[in-house]
Amino acid sequence: MSPSRTPEPTMKRTLPALALAAAALPALAADEFRFDAGHTYIGFEIDHLGFSRTLGEFLKYEGTLVLDRENLARSSIEVSIDTASIDTDQEDFDEHLRSADFFDVANHPTMRFKSTKVEDLGNGRLKVTGDFTMLGKTHPVVLDVSMNKVAPHPFRPTIEVAGFSARTTLDRTQWGMDKYAPAVGKDVSIRIETEFNRPIPAQ
């Protein structure tokens, strides 16, 4: 007689069991936030003939932040900016900036930024690399970002807020915006102060 053996589990039995166990685990998903336009500033600063620095901002934009708070490197952001919404508090100058000399809003009504990499530098500091498209050309841009606070809104308990500050500098001539450069500075300083909101799911 051959010795008795205890049957060993086969792959056919093990794999379905693992699949069922995995399906029973809760899904870990990042949270999606939207711009709070009332608490967002997307501004720029550029040298004007060496006499002063011109300041301006864009008033219309939309975007989505996907925040993975367990692993910030898996977060992402995508933003679209209405170029016609440029505002320097000088109506004639704004119209010139909307012309083909600069933003050419008739042919390029939007600028876009889409992140391609997020690096967590610790202590709330992030380096966000992305593709920036303007005037039909796309080049990489790196934002230095501070994640200021992520918490429920103190006066609106059904809303969670994620607040950020970001800085970068662009060479506008890379995108073909070279009118009057370098007399009017080609390096443009960008400053962003923003809050994103999301509804807190009911328990």
* Distances from the Cα of 154 to the Cα of 122, 157, 158, 163, angstroms: 26, 6, 10, 14
pLDDT of residue 201: 87
Percent of the chain with pLDDT over 70: 86
Q: In the predicted model, is pLDDT for residue 92 greater than 70?
A: yes
Contact 68, 120 (CB under 8 A): no
Residue written as tokens 């003939």?
A: 49
- Determine whether 138 is exposed, middle or buried from the number of CB atoms within 10 Å of its CB (0-12, 13-18, 19+): middle
Distance CA 147, CA 178 (A): 33
Band (pLDDT 50/70/90 cuts) for residue 202 is: confident
* Confidence (pTM): 0.83
What local confidence, expressed as pLDDT, does residue 15 receive? 43
Does residue 192 register a pLDDT over 50? yes
Per-residue confidence at 100, pLDDT binned at 50, 70, 90? very high
Tokens (6 digits) for 42? 């997307």
pLDDT(110) > 50: yes
Residues 134, 175 contacting (CB under 8 angstroms): yes
Domain 30-199 has CATH 3.90.1150.10: no
